[in-house]
Structure 1
C-alpha cells in the first residue's frame, strides 16, 4: 500500500450534521465527487435528512460552498439503501456525533462495503483514535486515522492528522498531500491524546481566561477587549468566540477534558463555570439561539452582567496604562511591564499568558512531536498571530521561564506542577535548524514530505527566514526579483496594501522592459495577504482637491498604459492572486496572460462604491471579452449585461471560483487551494506559457459594441431601481456612465470600435465623476471609515 500513490476520485462523508455537510461541501469545492450519508428519514424520502442538510449549505454564513453550483458534486445517501455505493469510494470520513458507541456501531455497519484500498478516517475532535481503530477489522486498521477539521472546514487552515498504532505511513503521506494541495490545508500530526493539540491547548487557554476573569472580577466585554486583536488574536476574542462555537459545545469539550484527563495537574479547573451551566439550562447557547454571553437588543449588542443577572450595554475598554503597555512593540519590554504593573488588567493578562505557557510546556511531550506542531495548531485552528511558544520566545525565553517558576513557587499559578527540565536547557524552541522536540532533545527540521517543496514561502514561525531571491531591479514602487535560475522574474509591490501609485505603474512597465530583454516570463506576486487594494485613493483625492487635475489625468493614462503593457508584453505575465484583489488590482490580473488565484481570493471591480468607475482598462477588457464571446451568436449584450450588474453593484467575489462565474477570471485561469503553493504554481504556469512559444494576443481593433441601444436597455433597469429607491441618484449617475463605456458610447448597435476608443471613454467618465462632490464624499468616507457611503 505504501508504494501506491493515494488517488482520491470519490469520497463519502458519514454524518450530515453541520460539520459533516461542510466537509462534504469543501470536498465538492475541490471537484471531489462526494456521497453524504445519514440515517434514513422516518417519513417521506429516505434521503430527506441529507437533502435538507445539502440545501442548508446555501444558507450558511460564511459560505461553505466556494461557488453554489459545486453542490451538484454532493449526492444524498442513507445507511439503509446506499451502503453498496461505498465500494467505489477512495476516502470515507466519519463525522457523526462525539459518541464512541455510535461511531463503533457505524464502523461495524460499513466495514463489509469498503474496498481493499479505501482510506477511512474519523473527524472526531478528541476521542481516542486507537479505541476507534480497535472496532475495525484488522485489515482496515492500517488505512484508518483521525482527520480533525476545524470549523468552518472551508476557511480554517488547520487539519490534525492522528495515526492509530497501525496506520500505514504511506497512507498518512498520501493523506497529507491530499489535504495540503487538494483541500488547501495545513496539516499537523497529533498524538492520540484527548482533544489532540489544538483543542487541548486552545480550550485550556479559554478555561484559564475564564478562571482569571472571575479572580480579577472583570466583565466579559473588558476581557474580550483585552484578549482580541490587542494581543494578536481574532476580534471574537474569548467570550464572543464561545458564543460562536456554542456554549453547549464549549461545556461538552470541558467535560471531555475532565472525564479523560483525571491525572492532569490542572484537572481541578476542568469544569464549566456556574454561569455557563445556567445559560445552557436556559437554552441560551450563544449565536445559534440568538443569546448567550452576548445578545442583540435592537441594533445594540449587550452583554451578560453576572452581578445584575441581566444584559447591559457592552462598551468596556482597557485602562490607559494597559493600553499603553499593549502598544509597546518590543515583546520583551511589553511582558516585563505587564508582570510589573499593579493594574488588575495587566495582572490578568500576565496570569493568562503565564498559565498558558506553563500548561503548553508541561504537556508538550505528551501531545506533540515538536513545539512547531503546537504553535501551528493554535495559529491555524484558533486564528492567533503567534502560537504560545512563539509568544513566549518573543517575550524573552529565560526571563519568562524565571517569572513562571517564581509564580509557581509563590502559589500564584493555576497548578503547582513544575516546569519541565528542558525549559531551562534551551534559549527558545524555534531556531534556524528547526523546532525543539522534547523526545529527541534537539531542534527538528520541517517535514521533508515532497508536498512542501511546492511552498516556496511557507507560513513562517518566529525566527524563520526563507530565501527571498536576488533583486534584478527595483524602484520605490516595485521590486523585480528572481528565485532560482528558471528565467521567471517576480514583481512585488512595496506599497501599503499593495496599492497602485505612479511608482508602481512605472515600476511594472520597467520590469516588463527588463523581462523582455533578460527573462522568459514574469509573475506578479505579493508577500502579503492581499494582491492589491487598487488605486491609491488618498493620493487621487488629494490631486482633485488641490486642483491637480492634469496630474490625475496623467496617472490614469499611465494606469491604462501599464495594463496594456501587461497584456501585450512579449513575455507572458502571470498574476498570482490571493486575498483582496480590488479595482486596479483586479484590472491588472484581467490583462495578464493568465491568472493563478488562491481559492480564498476576493476579486472585484469595486470602484462604484467610491463613486468612480474602473479606468485602468477593466471596462475595456469586459467589452473585448464580450465581443469575443459574441463571435458565436453575434450579440455581445448578454455578457455586457451580466458584467454591468457586477460592476455597477461593486460586487466582490466570495472566492476565486465565484470570480470565474462573475467573469472576472477566465475559464482558463487556474485556481489553487493552498495559498502557500500559489507562487510555485504561478511560476510553473508562466514557464509553461513561455516554453510553448508564447505570443501576446493581437490588438483588438474590431470590438463589436452593444451601442446606444445597449446603453438604453441598461439605463431602463436603472430607472426601475431608482424609482424603487434601491439606488441613489449618484448611484444612477455612476452606473449610467459604466453602461455607456461598456456599450461603446453613443454609437449604433453592432458598430466596431478599437481598444483605444473604449479606453478614452473610461478616462472621460472617470474624470467627470472624480470632480463631483458626491464622489469626493464617498472617497473621503471610505478612507476614514473603511466602509462605502451610499450618498
Structure 2
C-alpha cells in the first residue's frame, strides 16, 4: 500500500501532545490537535470556551525554550478543537496519534470514540510509555488492531531523535515497515523496533542505569555533585549527567518507571536495583519532583546578595547546600584526552574512587544489557541506537564494551561478581571478539541467532565517515580525506569543537586538489557533535598579544584564500553541516556550491561577540548577496541594513529553516535534511548531480554593487542610536562601525561596482585592526577561559 501522510490528528494536548503536533507541523503536515472540554461548560458554549484547554496548552508549548518548531510560521498548519465537537473530523485524517493521560480506562474510552469516526486503513498509534500496547487494543475491531501500534516519542520530540515502534501481535507488518521508514525519512528519527515489554528499550536501560548509579553512590559514599561530574560529557553523556537529567525528566516519572519494572518484570535478574531508596521516596512525598515543582536534586534560589545560585540536595540531611566542584585524579588524567574511546579506557583504569565507580558502573550496565537480549530486543544494535537517540549517549553500551575489549572486560566482570548472558560466552567461544565491525564503509553487528555479522537494516542510506577508516586517501594529524565511493571523496577533521586552524585549512586545500585531479567532487562534513565552532581564536589571540601582525595577516589571507578555493574549485564542493556551525564554519558553508544542512543546524557569523568582524570571506559574501537581492522598488539600503544587522548582532539561526530567513542558506539551491544521519549521503548525491549536469568553475565576481557614503551615514546613525539607548557598549559600536565601513565598500563618494578581492582586502584590514584592540582581546580571552565573551 502506498501511504501518504498529509494530515495527522493528535489526541491530547499536554506537554507531549502539543510538541508532537508542532513537530509534524514543522515537516509540513496539517495537524488537528484535540483535547477535552473544560468541566461544567454548557453544551451551547462557544468554541473558544470549549477549546480553552487545547489552546492554552499549545500556547504554553510555543513559549517554551528551546522552541518546539523549526520556524514559528508552521503554527498555521495546526488546527485546534475538542473531543466533543471535533472527533468526527478525524475521518479525513491519515494518522491518529493518542497522547492522553496514562490510564488504561481513559485511553480505551478515547479509542471507542476514535473507532466511531476513523476510516478503515487509517493508522492509529499510542504514545504511551507505561501501558502494554497489547492491552490498549483489546476489544477493538480487526481493522483497528491491524493498523494499531505504539509510537513512543521522546520529549522534546524535535530534539530527542528516538522513536520506538512497538507493534502488537495483531499489527500488520506493512504498518510497522511504513512507520519505521516514515520516522526515519520524514520525522528525522532514529526509529527503533521494540518489543512490548515494560518501559520498552530506552527507558528500561536508561532507568536501570540511573538506579544502578544510585546504588553505587551509596556504596562508595559519593555525593550528587561528584556523580554528575563523573557521568556527564567525560563519558560521552549529556551535560545534564545523572541527577540533572532526573530533575528534567521528573523524579516521579523516574520512580514510576522503576516501580513498574520491579512489579512487572519478576524474571529480571537485577530487579533489586529498581527498589526505591528511602531518600528518593522522601523526595516524592515532599513533592520535590525536579523542574516541574521548582526543586528536586537541585534548587534555584537567590542568596543574601541578591544573586541567583543553584543549591544541591544533601541526601543525608535532606537539606539544600552549596555546590562543590569535585576533584578526582582519574578525571584530571582523562579530561585532556579528546578521543572518547581512548578516554574511556583511561577512566576505567583509574586507581582512585572514580576508577572504582567507573568499573562498577560499566560492569553493571554491560551485564544488564546482555541479559535483556532477546527479552526487549532480538538485536543488540537496537539497544545502542535507542540509548544514543533517546538519552543522548555519544556511543552505545555494546559499542563501549567493544572499546574496552569484550574478552578482557568480560573476564574482569566475572572476577568482580558480575554475570553475562550465555550468548556472550558463546560468541567469544566461537571466536567472535566484538559486537560490531566495519567492512566497505558499513557497520555490521553480531547477530546472535545466526552467529554471524550482518548489516544494520536501514543504514544503507547512511554514510558514517568513521566507518571508512580503511578508505583514507590522505590525512594529517587533524583531518582525513575518505573515498566514499562513486568517485567522491569526503573531508572530516577532528579538533576541539571542530575549530578551524592551519592544519584544517591545509586539509581543505589538499582535498580540493586531490578531488580536482582524481575525483568527481568533494563533500565536507563530520560525524562529531558539531560541524565547527569556527576559527581557532586561541591562535588569533596568541598572534595579537605577541603583536605578530604579519603572521596574523598571513593567517587571515590563508583563511580567505581557502574559502575562495571552496567557491572556485574545479569540482563541486558540497558541505553537510549540523549542530554548531559558527564563525569560520559558517563562512565555509557560505562559499560552498551547495549546502545539505541537517534540520538541527545552528549557524551564524558570531565574530562581533569577540570584538571582530567575519574575516574569512563572510562579510564579503553578505555584501555580495545583499547586492544581488537589491530591488528597484525598495530603498537599496534596506537589504544591506538587514544583512548588516545579522552580523552586527551576532545572530545565530536556531534551525536550518531559520537560516533560510537569515539569508545564510539559499532558497532553491541549498537543502535541509530532516534526519541528520542522511545528510552526508545527500551531500554525496548532490555532488554527483552537480558533476553530471556539467559542472564548471564559477567566475569570480567583479560586479558587486556597494553603496558608499550614502549607506554608511545611515548605518553610522543607527549604530549611534543603539549606543545612546544602551543597547550596545562603546566597543560594540566601535566594531559595528568597522563592519559598516567594509559592507559599504569603504568611504566611497558614490555607488560603485567592486570585486570580491576588493571586499576581502577591506575585510582583512578591519579584522587586523580590531585584533589589536585591547577590548577585543579581553573578549577573546574571556571566550578562551570561560567559553563566553566579556561584555565590555
TM-score, normalised with respect to structure 2: 0.90
**Matched residue, 1:121:** 125
**Matched residue, 1:317:** 326
Do the aligned residues in 2 keep the contact of 1:157 with 1:185 (CA within 8 Å)? yes
Q: Deviations over 1:260-319 (max 9, x none)?
A: 224434444434333223323333221122211111222322111233331111115144
Distance across 1 between alignment mates of 2:111 and 2:223: 46
Q: 1:345 to 1:453 in 2, by over 3 A?
A: closer
Unaligned runs of 5+ in 2: 42-47, 303-307, 439-443
Do the aligned residues in 2 keep the contact of 1:83 with 1:113 (CA within 8 Å)? yes
Distance across 1 between alignment mates of 2:529 and 2:347: 28
Distance across 2 between alignment mates of 1:61 and 1:784: 27
Q: 1:534 to 1:551 in 2, by over 3 A?
A: same
Give the superposition deviation at 1:155. 1.4
**Matched residue, 1:572:** 572
**Matched residue, 2:588:** 588
Q: 1:519 to 1:399 in 2, by over 3 A?
A: closer
Distance across 1 between alignment mates of 2:447 and 2:679: 30
**Matched residue, 1:244:** 248
**Matched residue, 2:67:** 63
Give the superposition deviation at 1:335. 7.8
Distance across 2 between alignment mates of 1:521 and 1:398: 42
3-state SS of 1:367 partner:
coil
Distance across 2 between alignment mates of 1:476 and 1:390: 25
The correspondence of residues 95-494 of structure 1 with structure 2, limited to 5 A, is: 95-298=99-302, 299-320=308-329, 337=349, 346-405=355-414, 408=417, 419-427=420-428, 430-432=435-437, 434-438=444-448, 440=449, 442-443=451-452, 445-449=454-458, 452-457=459-464, 465-466=467-468, 469=471, 471=473, 479-485=480-486, 487-493=487-493
Do the aligned residues in 2 keep the contact of 1:468 with 1:483 (CA within 8 Å)? no
Q: 1:697 to 1:635 in 2, by over 3 A?
A: farther
Question: Which residue of 11, 16, 37 corresponds with 2:13?
Answer: 16
3-state SS of 1:369 partner:
coil
Q: 1:738 to 1:127 in 2, by over 3 A?
A: same
- Measured on the aligned residues, the alpha-carbon RMSD in Å equals 2.9
Q: 1:746 to 1:470 in 2, by over 3 A?
A: same
Distance across 2 between alignment mates of 1:441 and 1:347: 36
Tell me the number of residue pairs that the alignment of Structure 1 and Structure 2 aligns. 767
Question: Which residue of 35, 38, 44 corresponds with 1:38?
Answer: 35
Residue 692 (1) aligns with residue 693 (2): yes
Do the aligned residues in 1 keep the contact of 2:334 with 2:343 (CA within 8 Å)? no
Distance across 1 between alignment mates of 2:504 and 2:712: 34
Do the aligned residues in 2 keep the contact of 1:375 with 1:389 (CA within 8 Å)? yes
Q: 1:335 to 1:443 in 2, by over 3 A?
A: farther
Q: 1:354 to 1:27 in 2, by over 3 A?
A: same
**Matched residue, 1:7:** 4
Distance across 1 between alignment mates of 2:322 and 2:601: 36
Give the superposition deviation at 1:121. 1.4
Q: Deviations over 1:90-125 (max 9, x none)?
A: 222212222121111111111232233322211111
Give the superposition deviation at 1:718. 2.4
65-74 or 224-233: bigger deviation:
224-233
TM-score, normalised with respect to structure 1: 0.90
Give the superposition deviation at 1:603. 0.7
Q: 1:691 to 1:381 in 2, by over 3 A?
A: same
Q: 1:618 to 1:468 in 2, by over 3 A?
A: farther
**Matched residue, 1:705:** 706
Distance across 1 between alignment mates of 2:475 and 2:254: 51
3-state SS of 1:747 partner:
coil
86-95 or 554-563: bigger deviation:
554-563
Unaligned runs of 5+ in 1: none
**Matched residue, 2:718:** 717
